[in-house]
Structure formats: structure tokens, C-alpha cells
Amino acid sequence: MLTLDLDGLLIEVSKHNASVLGVQLPSGLRQRSREVLHFFNRHDYDVIFSGDQSYGACDIADEPLADAGADIMVHFGHSKMLPSTRIPVIYWHVKDDIDIVPAISGNLERIRKAGKRVGLATTIQHVHGLEEVSSFLVSKGFDVSIGKPVDRVSYPGQVLGCSFEAIGSIDVDFYIYVGTGKFHPIGMSLATDKEVLHCDPYMGTCESIIPERDMILKKRYAMMEKARHKTDFGMLLSTKKGQYRHDEALEIKSLLNEHGKNCVLILAEEINKYIIQDFDMEAFVVAACPRIAIDDAIQFDKPVLTITEARMLFEEMDYRFDEIK
């Protein structure tokens, strides 16, 4: 179960001279909004919720909440990423209290087949359990590494959908990702070109993500081949603070121009299928979250590439996952 620790949060909020609290909850926690509301109302705070979709710590609602009168903002579920915001932001971590070791201990035979040197990774709600997993695997004869924090992540072994730098810095045979969903382990395998075992603490399973990764790679190469023969490109640049990649957008625009392609910048806060449909460009490059082009590909009726895929149209290189550095 996800624990909010509102008593601990109150201590942090009380350090600020605030009376109106802006709150940003990820979709999975919005069903607990009344719990948050009633708790802070009892402590004499007015609460304003952000109703916009939040895609992570790169997508902070400080501007609209400040406009609505919030003195301070709490962003639930992610670690700090942005260096500056309009009003103070408390990044409040939400822990999942499920024991993650059983998913590992129950699949040791499968894990041994992958190798001896293993790197551990997870998302922020499980990072507190990685040391326990590491100790268990060491006791079973494995060499275990946990990547160090980098600019966009705060904790050892933490990965984001847009950043796998922490795990890329360690030398291992394979990785174990502990958590739910295939979003992050597929990204890990795309970024490192190594086997990733997805160990789900709720299902108790531990399975290789390679088949799903290879299927995505085939689709990405097919997408690049379609884009290669197009002339008019739209460069989609997001205004979200943690996704604004202006310099990279201009670099790719110049690269496309050098190879006889036309390219125009299209600025938007939310990059979605409607922009792709409404503009009559032949192909698009996303200078924002690198997962948009991959995870939303089924929604697009035209070729949509990541920054690194656009480079691969003109450079001989192995596939590289696009990461925001």
C-alpha cells in the first residue's frame, strides 16, 4: 500500500509561512484527495488541487497554482528535479510498503540464468527497499551494484522514464527492475542494450523484458524508415519546464536542413495526437519527453521520432534510447 505520511508532510509545510497549499497528485493518488484535503483543513490550511495531468517531476504546476493564490506547493510521488520554481515546492515521496524481497527469493533459479553481476533499479516508491534486496542477493552469491544518483534523480538505483543514467554507469551482466508495469524496464533495456528482469512484487513474477523490447525496436526502425523518405518535418517543443529541450531542437532542425529537409518548430505545452493530426507536416520529431514518440506511437497517423532517432536518419549508429540529460 502507498503511504502518504501526511504528519511528516505537515512538519515540512509548517516551515513555510503559508496559508494556501497547492497540491499536485499523480493520477493514481487522486482517489485519496479527500484524505489530503481533510487533513490540511484540520490544520487550518486552504487547499487548491491541480487538475491537470502530471507526467512526473518534469511537469510541475507551480505557475497555475501560484496564479490561483497558492503560497506553497506539494508535488506528490516524485523526487526533486527542477532547480527553480515560482513558489516553493515540496517534492513529497510516496512509499510502497510491500515487501519486495519475496519476488526475488521466489525466482532465484531464473535470476541465476541471467548471470552473476546484477544491477538493481526501481522507481522512487521502492528505492527504500533496494538495500535489502542487495543484501539478500549478495548472501546468495551475486555481485550486486546500485547506480549512483545523477542530475535528474535523487536516490541510488532510481530510474525515470526519461533518464537511465544511474544504471548505465555500472558494469553488470544484467539488471533487475523491481516494480509494477513494463514502462521502466523496457526503457532500461533500450537504454543499456542488456537483459532486464522485471520482478513484480505484487505478482511475485520475474520475467525478461527482452521480447517486448525487441518488438519495440522493430517498430522504431520501421518508423525511422518511413520518416527517412519525408521532406517536411515538424519539431515539437514542449513548454513544460523539465521537458524544454530548445537547444537540441535547434540542433536537429539544422541537421534536417543540412540534408535537404524542411523543419519548423511547433511549440506546445501538451504534445498529443491532435497536434500530429492538425498540422499537415509529413513527419515529426519530439523535443520533449522521449517516451511520447515510443509509448504513444499507436495514436499517431504519421512518423514521429525521438531526438536520437532523428540523428540516426543520417548517422551510422546502434539504436540509442533518447534521454534528457
pTM of the entire predicted model: 0.88
Measuring CA to CA, how many Å separate 11 from each of 60, 77, 81, 164, 236? 22, 18, 22, 32, 41
Tell me the C-alpha distance between 184 and 201, whole Å. 15
User: What CATH number corresponds to the domain at position 266?
Assistant: 3.40.50.11860
Percentage of residues in the chain having pLDDT higher than 90? 81
Tell me the C-alpha distance between 17 and 162, whole Å. 34
pLDDT tens for 202-249 read 999 999 999 999 999 999 999 999 999 999 999 999 999 889 999 999
Same domain, 231 and 153: no
The grid cell for 2 is 502507498
Query: Residue 241: what residue type?
Result: K
The grid cell for 158 is 532510481
Q: What pLDDT band is residue 150 in, cutting at 50, 70 and 90? A: confident
Same domain, 110 and 186: yes
Same domain, 11 and 87: yes
User: Please, what is the average pLDDT of the chain?
Assistant: 94
Decide if pLDDT at 287 tops 90: yes
Tell me the C-alpha distance between 174 and 117, whole Å. 7
Tell me the C-alpha distance between 208 and 301, whole Å. 31
Average pLDDT over residues 85-105: 94
Examine the fold and report which residue of 193, 208, 223 is the final residue of a domain before the chain moves on.
208
Same domain, 236 and 298: yes
Decide if pLDDT at 151 tops 80: no
Decide if pLDDT at 111 tops 90: yes
Q: What is the pLDDT of residue 323?
A: 87
Same domain, 220 and 301: yes
pLDDT tens for 161-191 read 888 888 888 999 999 999 998 889 999 999 9
Could you tell me which residues are beta bridge partners of residue 95? 3
Q: Would you call 92 helix, strand, or coil by DSSP?
A: strand
Q: Is 203 within the bounds of a domain?
A: yes
Decide if pLDDT at 1 tops 80: no
pLDDT tens for 40-65 read 999 999 999 999 988 888 899 999 99
Same domain, 263 and 287: yes
Q: Are 87 and 143 in contact (CB under 8 A)?
A: no
The grid cell for 318 is 546502434
Domain that holds residue 116: 101-208
Same domain, 107 and 46: no
Sheet bearing 262-268, strands edge to edge: 262-268, 232-238, 283-287, 304-306
Q: What's the length of the chain?
A: 325
Q: How many domains does the chain have?
A: 3
Q: Would you call 160 helix, strand, or coil by DSSP?
A: strand
Same domain, 198 and 114: yes
The grid cell for 298 is 499507436
User: What CATH number corresponds to the domain at position 167?
Assistant: 3.40.50.11850
Query: At which residue does the C-alpha cell 518488438 appear?
Result: 215
